[in-house]
Amino acid sequence: MKFYFQLDGDIIRDAITYPHEGYTEVELDMTHLPAGINAGYYRWNGTAFEIDESLKPKDPTDVTQAIEDLQRNQQLMQQAIDDLVMGGAL
């Protein structure tokens, strides 16, 4: 099947199934690409893609911390909205 990769050097940034300007056409013996092919840690070697472990996020606690920070910020924003609504500002 034909796929079209947006490449940053040899790193796959995006993968689609239709021609688009700036994308490289590739022919593969598969009908589906792996989940995460556009996550920035797959490389295209000219004939196949491969995972580059060095490009994967190193510490999952960084992701966990980021999620916790986002949840905390969301709670603060919700509280501020509630205060505005209850105070009659909205």
Report which of residues 89 and 58 the model is more confident about.
Answer: 58
Say what percent of the chain tops pLDDT 90: 76
DSSP SS3 for 86: helix
Q: Where is average pLDDT lowest: 17-21, 25-29, 77-81, 83-87? A: 83-87
Model confidence over 23-66: pLDDT tens digits?
A: 999 999 999 999 999 999 999 999 999 999 999 877 767 778 88
| pTM of model > 0.85 | no
pLDDT of residue 76: 96
Residue length of the chain? 90
**What is the spatial distance between Cα 70 and Cα 11, in angstroms, rounded to a whole number?**
28
**What is the spatial distance between Cα 65 and Cα 9, in angstroms, rounded to a whole number?**
31
- With b meaning 16 or more CB within 10 Å and e meaning fewer, what string describes 17-47? eeeeeebeebeeeeeebeeebeeebbebeee
